[in-house]
Chain A
Amino acid sequence: MSVVHRASASREQITSRSGLIGYISAVIAVLVKDSRCELRSKQSISAVLLFAVTSTVAVSFTLGAQGQSSAIASTLLWVVIYFSAMAGLSRSFVHEVETYTAPLLKLAAKPNSVYLGKLAFNFLTLIALDIVTVPLFIILMGCGISKPGLFIALLLLGSLALSAGATMAAAMVSRASSKGALFAAISFPLLVPALGLAISGTNIAMGGDAVLTAANCLHLLAYYCGVVITASLMLFRFVWED
């Protein structure tokens, strides 16, 4: 009982602060809580990084110098990022359900701050993944980046898009009975437009050519992020609350 009291007290503490500042501080509180749990257990980051490094090594070991084509390299890069994300991002909500902490979190914070906090956490996980995988991928595959600025912008926007869709999918899957396989199955349809755009933009950044221009890819990715995040903010409470 006392834990519930403390949780509702902390909700009052957070929500008592005025409007936007209270909202942002709730989001940051969720992010800090998740990061602290992650730094203690290292569950999702180790799964994600290990998967990413293993698949990058496997891909480059098998393809070797044949992976020089920018179309193949850009596709493989995003396939590695996508499946590594699938290995770890569902933890954010599944963990709450497995350890029975979800009811407390529901008491302690409003649904939208939970969504934004988890989104920020998943985004940071993907950035950590990018920092490790992408240089390794470029070195092992020996592919040149002709437009570094575009490449980095695509990685950032693409990671944001992946984490936006995957956070929502993770929240849905956490209520289902078969979590692991279902997460990849329902994330893929939500994420495939972002993946397609990121791949064709990366292809351009690596010196290939595509039907869309680089600016098209960036605009559409930003549009995708806007649509998914706005829709998630409107719909998240239906998934999160009983």
Chain B
Amino acid sequence: MGRLKTKDKTSAIMPLPLQIFIGLEIAAVIVAAFLYVPPARGFADKESARIIIFHVPCAMIATLAYAISTIYAIAYLIRGNTASDMKSAASASLGFLFTALATVTGMIFAKMEWGMAWNWDPREVSILMLMIVYAAYFALRGSILNSAARAKISSVYNIMAGLLMPFFIFVLPRLVPGLHPSNTLTSRSGLSPEYRIALGGAMLGYMMLYIWILRLSVRISEHAMLRRRKSIER
């Protein structure tokens, strides 16, 4: 078992200037989403399309967080260090948070645009499956008492789930017909420059926020573990 590095209190989780920058950056994105970006063409409700500036980055960060969680699970099985397992669990819970945000913003937009909050659209199916997969991951973590066994088994489950992702993202959705646009982000004509800037800004802000929260929650679980160890020694 790898020993935890006990960091001194002065080592910052996120440098202060960067913290201020993240706050201003996200505030700027929120203002831009309502004031700078023009109403979208080709939607039933042109004003409501502004929500995609928050919705799309959430879904992307969620996918990224799950991928990082799986990578740390693999790292844990190779090296056996507790820190990797903590990062894996923290990243999965952040992925869950961003998935929930993407689902809620998506449902609001779907209600405005397609008339119903839930349509069994392919991406709705995949995001629902992602949520079920990781809800089961947390249930599994919660019910194994031995911490070494918990780390190993939940890493294995995490990797299995990661390997099945192609089925959730590409195969399952093909079993139902779809409503989401498929190539707006990659094609040239899909987005106006204002949208491109706002989306990029939101992506950057959310990404830094994700790293910040990830470091915070890893620090919290490190402290919890140290406290448990001290109380055992006493």
Contact = CB atoms under 8 A, between A and B. Distances in A.
B175 A186 contact: no
Contacts of B176: 211
B129 A189 contact: yes
B133 A239 contact: no
B118 interface: no
B128 to A, nearest CB: 10
Interface in B138-156: 139-140, 143-146, 149, 152-153, 155-156
B51 to A, nearest CB: 28
Given A168-B156, A178-B143, A186-B136, 16 more contacts: A176-B140, A176-B144, A177-B143, A185-B139, A189-B164, A190-B160, A193-B164, A193-B167, A197-B175, A211-B174, A224-B167, A232-B160, A235-B156, A238-B153, A238-B155, A242-B149
Interface in A189-216: 189-190, 192-193, 196-197, 200, 210-212
Nearest to B74: A235
A163 B74 CA distance: 24
> Interface residues of B toward A: which range?
20 to 34
B152 A239 contact: yes
8 contacts: A189-B129, A227-B163, A232-B160, A235-B156, A238-B77, A238-B155, A239-B152, A242-B149
B161 interface: yes
A53 to B, nearest CB: 29
A228 B139 contact: no
A189 B131 CA distance: 10
A175 interface: yes
A220 B140 CA distance: 28
A146 to B, nearest CB: 20
B172 interface: yes
B144 A175 contact: yes
A212 B139 contact: no
A172 interface: yes
**Interchain residue pairs A-B with the least CB separation, the first 9:** A193-B167, A189-B133, A176-B143, A186-B136, A235-B156, A238-B152, A177-B143, A176-B144, A172-B153
B168 interface: yes
A188 B132 contact: yes
B175 A200 contact: yes
Interface of A: 168, 172, 175-178, 182, 185-186, 188-190, 192-193, 196-197, 200, 210-212, 220, 224, 227-228, 231-232, 235, 238-239, 242
B172 A193 contact: yes
B175 A212 contact: yes
Nearest to B161: A189
A193 B168 contact: yes
B159 interface: yes
Contacts of A188: 132, 136
B15 interface: no
Q: Is the interface of A mostly helix, strand, loop or mixed?
A: helix
Given A178-B143, A182-B139, A212-B174, A190 B132 contact: no
A172 B168 CA distance: 22
B212 interface: no
Contacts of A176: 140, 143-144, 153
Contacts of B168: 193
Contacts of A210: 175
Contacts of A232: 160
B153 A175 contact: yes
Nearest to A234: B159
B157 A186 contact: yes
A186 B141 CA distance: 11
A198 to B, nearest CB: 11
Contacts of A227: 163-164
Contact of B140 (A172, A212, A235): A172
Contacts of B132: 188-189, 192
A239 B73 CA distance: 13
B211 interface: no
A210 B133 CA distance: 25
